Amino acid sequence: MTLRTTLIASTIASSAIILAGAAGAQTMKIGITQNNVGVDSYQTTYESAFIAAAAENSDVDAVVLDAGGDVARQIAQIEDLIQQEVDAIIIWPTNGEAVIPAVRKAHQAGIPVVVTNSNIAEAGFDFVNSFSGPDNITQGARSAEIMCDKFKDMGIEGEAQVVHITGQPGYTTAIERAKGFEDRMPEVCADVMIVDTQPGDWNREKSQQVMEAFLVKYDDIDGVYSGDDNMGVGALNAAKAAGRDGIIFVGATNFAVGYEAMAAGDYWGSIYQSPVDDAEAALKTAIDILEGKELPFLNYFDTPKITQDNMGDYTKPVF
């Protein structure tokens, strides 16, 4: 499959180069190896957005690959891309540590590497030209601000109690969002207490169970922060089933279900992170590097706050 994809891709690529050569423009051949397309709607949308963005730019010739969540396959794909002498490689790491040797190989072959969405481990930073993705620490901090502002509106910022449901323990995104939230909350709302933190493993059902236990344990819960909206909606379901009203739910990565719950007035706010922006930012970062522009190493795309107040400015997420 990989070989066939590669062959087809390279055939298309070479014919495109010939055509482009005839047209006199300089074509950039950019290869991407993704983490696991199809495992969730975010990654599925990311891929189609990337292909669309590449097709729109006549100077770009994209080789789009997917590792299917398999580190070994991703390493082989990076090696394939090096063999094909692409101009730049974009990688969405399946594993932040294991891909470093392959990334180094690309770097040694003189091919610029862009890491997208989730960064690789620090040991590999020397071989990477730029990271393009969301700033999860800022996302966590912004969620804290959204919640604090709402508490101030309600006049309970001096006494509010918050529970925190994190993503899967050990995942960088989960750790960074939790850190951003827990560091920022005391800065903006010094008297708000984060009374408990437990993982919901990015899983709606697990998060619902965790919230059920929180509701038994604490008679007074004013706010719930969840590492993403999928878990946030699980927690919301638990509160609804227990008949506990007036809790302020704030999440991250606004999902369609979160957006709908906001429209229904049950869920207060989230962070708008679009897979389309993510994909387009990755491609643009690679192009900018090839065009010799100066870029920061951590090239974040913006992920704004979304609440019931401003949700009209944003379209409903497709995932």
- Residues of this chain that bind other proteins (CB under 8 A): 37-41, 43-44, 169, 196-199, 203-205, 208-210, 212-214, 216-217, 230, 233-234, 237, 241-242, 255-257, 319
Identify any residues that bridge with 115 across adjacent strands, giving them in sequence order.
Answer: 91, 131
Q: Which is nearer to other proteins, 124 or 232 (CB)?
A: 232
Q: Which is nearer to other proteins, 112 or 234 (CB)?
A: 234
Minimum separation from the CB atom of position 215 to other proteins (A): 8
Q: Which is nearer to other proteins, 84 or 161 (CB)?
A: 161
Question: Do residues 13 and 64 make contact, with C-beta atoms less than 8 angstroms apart?
Answer: no
Question: Do residues 270 and 258 make contact, with C-beta atoms less than 8 angstroms apart?
Answer: yes
CA distances from 235 to 55, 139, 261, 277 (A): 40, 19, 12, 28
Minimum separation from the CB atom of position 33 to other proteins (A): 17
Question: Do residues 265 and 236 make contact, with C-beta atoms less than 8 angstroms apart?
Answer: no
Q: State both tokens at 173.
A: 């995104």
Long-range contact pairs involving 183-186 (C-beta distance under 8 Å, separation at least 24) = 183/140, 183/141, 184/140, 184/141, 184/142, 184/144, 184/145, 185/144, 185/147, 185/148
Q: Which is nearer to other proteins, 86 or 261 (CB)?
A: 261
Q: Which is nearer to other proteins, 188 or 276 (CB)?
A: 276
Q: State both tokens at 78.
A: 């990076």
